[in-house]
Amino acid sequence: AKSTVRPCALCVCNPELNIHDACLLSLQVKPGDATLTQQVPEILFPWRSVVVRGDGTLRRVKRDWVIPPINVPENSRGQFPEDLVRIRSDRDKNRMLRYSVTGPGADQPPTGIFIINPISGQLSVTKPLDREHISNFHLRAHAVDLNGNQVENPIDIVINVIDQNDNRPEFTHSIFNGSVPEGSKPGSFVMTVTAVDKDDPKTANGMLRYKILSQNPQSPSSNMFTINNKTGDIITVAAGLDREKVTQYTLIIQATDMEGNPTYGLSNTATTVIRITDVNDNAPEFTTETFFGEVHENRVNVIVANLTVTDKDQPHTPAWSAVYRIIAGDPTGRFSIPTDPTTNEGLLTVVKPIDYESTRSFMLTVEAENEVTLVRGIHLPRQSTATVSVRILDLNESPEFRPNPKSMRLEEGLSAGSMLTTFTAQDPDRYMRQTIRYSKMYDPANWLEINPANGQISTIAILDRESPYIKNNHYNVTFMASDNGTPPASGTGTLQIYLTDINDNAPHVFPPEVEMCERPEPNALNLTASDPDLSPNAGPFAFELANRPLDVRRNWTLHRLNGEHAQLRLRIGFLASGLYEVPITITDSGNLPMSNTSYLRVKVCQCDHHGDCVDMERIIAAGLGTGAIIAILICIIILLVLVLLFVMWMKRRDKERQAKQLLIDPEDDVRDNILKYDEEGGGEEDQDYDLSQLQQPDALEPECVKVGIRRLDERPLHHDHQYPLRSAAPHPGDIGDFIHEGLKAADNDPTAPPYDSLLVFDYEGSGSTAGSLSSLHSSSSCGDQDYDYLGDWGPRFRKLADLYGGGDD
């Protein structure tokens, strides 16, 4: 039961000098223990070696020593602080030393995990360690004397935290999702599940093993999948995956550490959902062998029939979507079958017009396939082909003009009543006996008419190529043919007439008006001719001055420049300003030439040095027009009216302001004024006043009354009062009776309105000794009253104090 010390097995001894340089390991047997336990190792600090000098003496020198790491298990449950190692210097025999450690875990964060006894050098750990948080610590041990001087070089101490199996495996996801195509062969890869363990992966604590605990559903086999116990790869092990039977499988996967040891290992589970993806292993099948439909003739983009199929593959996928194809019965391509993406139905549609008289029915053979090809080994069944019977319904078709449009060439000038051609239409309904009637729809010049029964077209006016309705020598007329079917049908046809030109228009001079200076040198006028006919019925032209009047050839000369132009000049040197008409005869070059005498209007005027007219008419023409002048005058009148209205408004405003002003400035007005605040009292019952304190004006002494001058803003006195005369109050000082009598008189007044109204008390009675209240002043007999306090109420009351308290003056 006693402690015994034995040489440390890790001690390194010097083989030459037989001196222990490393450490001693003390082993003790605790009381009550039956086994030996490893006790605290001791590190000799520093290490020294003895060398022989040249003179034969011995000397110790320092040399480095690698301290093996100290292993400390994590999650220790021992008593703390728990001793780890003792650090000692061989110089502690001669002096007192102090030991310390530095580094993360000691004096650096996380601080306080390792402590050292400064005297004994005992290194201890103060709390349980967590390898998953910090796997090792690097400390440095120091030895100093009492003065803080470094005695030895610092040595490094590495403390490794030994892992324990204290963490369960954790899957990276609680639910893993994977997929595999249906019909996959055994050994097909599906997915990988992954779990992690925070314990040391280099030890069994962090080595995981996977296995499948359960499969749901267990169809067609309970072991459709297997998992690689080391990598977590899930693969198929059985055939028979069919999405149409089982759409997905749910697997419970377990991960166990300690290399899968069920006794000592910790485990965890996760859920894996494997979705069986669809492949095109089912062909579309028609719901019936024969479909029926009907459509009216000449209709396009009309759905004839809806072709329905069933497909067991996943809806709205390429393996489910059907593609329809007509394989027989439609050689001219009059039908197509697009697919409805929602219902997957085939919509048999007419894309080209069908003539009932040509074909009355169709028998189509239709095949249905998927957008993607079927998987290998599966072929189209017989149900993927169907027959569609289409019946064509007859309609009353419109009559058709043939040819349409119809062209013809005519010479203009054809007289009215001439028969041109016959323009008829045929009825496509060969099996219906119907009558066709003709009418005119569009004839802008109203030149033609058509026979309603036989379609003969004749003229009702002369055809004129120079008409504004002619475009590029063409004239178009539209006719309509209508049958008597039920309902009636009609068609239109166009007759195009090309009109050739004849010489039916005489030329005339152009331009019709020109200007010329009084002294034309070297001025001359260039003229041409205008003829609506075409060549050769137009130019070249012959120009000639008319013989009449005689002064034309005396004053003017006409010189032909070419077949299209001529030049007009003055024969005399000066011509007075004015307007002259010069007759010019022009002859065209038609087969039957046509001549015409046109009058050229020549305006002769005074010209400036540039040769431009400067007469007053030209200046006026270049100025403002009549409309602009009228607009300017209207604007001026409106502006004057606005100014006048503004002046009148200003004058009216000044008059109103003057009428409101008082004769006396409000600052100099010393009288009391009645101010209206738009407020009413609570009524007579709420006002319990002692009216006996009021004094009637009759009770005042005569010498205290002074008749003043009435202001202009006072209400004027009226001589004819509507109120009856009232007797004086029974007591001179009781004005309450006076007011009550006034109220009684108003109630008995036959002229008062039958509703509550304002009672005016401005009537003071006849023969009153009191004047206007505004004219009251104090006399010498009223000198017993003190009015000096009024001076403290402001400038207005200060004037009252001067009037009533200022003495006789």
Which pLDDT value is given to residue 688?
55
Give me the average pLDDT of each 10-residue run along the chain (809 residues): 33 32 32 39 54 52 65 90 90 88 94 93 93 93 91 92 93 96 93 95 93 94 94 94 93 95 94 94 93 93 95 92 94 95 95 90 95 86 92 88 89 87 86 86 92 91 87 91 87 90 81 78 76 80 80 79 81 78 83 82 80 58 65 92 92 79 52 55 51 48 42 43 48 69 77 63 55 49 64 75 65
pLDDT of residue 50: 44
- The whole-number pLDDT of residue 438 equals 93
Residues written for the chain: 809
d(CA 450, CA 460): 10
Q: How many CB atoms lie within 10 A of CB 96?
A: 8
d(CA 609, CA 627): 33
Ramachandran angles phi, psi of 263, nearest 5°: -85, -45
CA distance linking residue 735 with residue 739, whole number of Å? 6
> Which tokens go with 340?
């409805």
Plot region of 240 (φ>0 → left; ψ -120 to 50 → alpha; else → beta):
left
Report the alpha-carbon distance of residue 713 to residue 661 in Å, rounded: 9
Superfamily (CATH H level) for 170-277:
Cadherins (2.60.40.60)
- Classified by CATH at the fold level, domain 508-605 comes out as Immunoglobulin-like (2.60.40)
pLDDT, tens digit (0-9, with 9 covering 90-100), for 260-277: 999 999 999 999 999 999
* DSSP code per residue over 419-457: EEEE--EE-S-TTS----EEEEEE-TT--EEE-TTT-EE
Cβ–Cβ < 8 Å for 451, 428: no
Q: Which of 514, 527, 513, 517 is nearest to 610 (CA)?
A: 517
Composition of the chain by helix, strand, coil, percent to 5: 15, 35, 55
Q: Quick count: other Cβ atoms within 10 Å of Cβ 78?
A: 10
Amino acid, single-letter form, for residue 666: P
Full-prediction pTM beyond 0.75? no
> Which residues are CB-neighbours of 579 under 8 A, at least 6 positions away?
601, 602, 603, 604
Taking the C-alpha atoms of residue 233 and residue 486, their distance in angstroms, rounded to an integer, is 78
Closest CA relative to residue 65, chosen from 14, 100, 18, 99 = 14
Q: Please write the tens of the pLDDT for every residue from 468-487.
A: 888 888 999 999 999 888 88
> Quick check: bond before 403 cis, omega within 30?
yes
Helix (H, G, I), strand (E, B) or coil at 775: helix
- Dist. CA 685–CA 681, nearest whole Å: 10
Q: What is the pLDDT of residue 749?
A: 76
Burial class (CB in 10 A: 0-12, 13-18, 19+), 235: middle
C-alpha 210/C-alpha 251 separation (Å) is: 12
CA distance 344 to 309: 7
CATH class of 285-393: mainly beta
Q: Which amino acid is at 210?
A: Y
CATH class of 70-162: mainly beta
Calculate the CA dihedral of residues 620, 623, 629, 631 and round it to 10 degrees.
150
| Fold of the domain spanning 400-500 | Immunoglobulin-like (2.60.40)
Write the DSSP assignment of 112-128 as a string of letters. TSEEE-TTT-EEEE-S-
SS3 of 728, please? coil
Quick one: CA dihedral 80, 84, 87, 92, positive or negative? positive
Tokens 């061989």 map to which residue?
90
Domain with CATH 2.60.40.60 in the chain: 70-162, 170-277, 285-393, 400-500, 508-605
pLDDT given at position 619: 45
- Phi and psi at residue 400, in whole multiples of 5°? -120, 125
What is the rounded CA–CA span in Å between residue 783 and residue 704?
10
Cβ contact 158:124 at 8 Å: no
- Say how far apart CA 333 and CA 330 lie, in whole Å: 6
**What are the structure tokens assigned to 91, written together?**
């110089």
181: CB partners within 8 A, 6+ apart = 241, 276, 277, 278, 279
Q: Return the SS3 of 24.
A: strand
Q: Is the dihedral of CA 33, 37, 43, 44 positive or negative?
A: positive
Cα–Cα dist 284/275, whole Å: 23
Nearest to 341 by CA among 317, 305, 311: 317
* In contact, 42 and 117? CB cutoff 8 Å: no
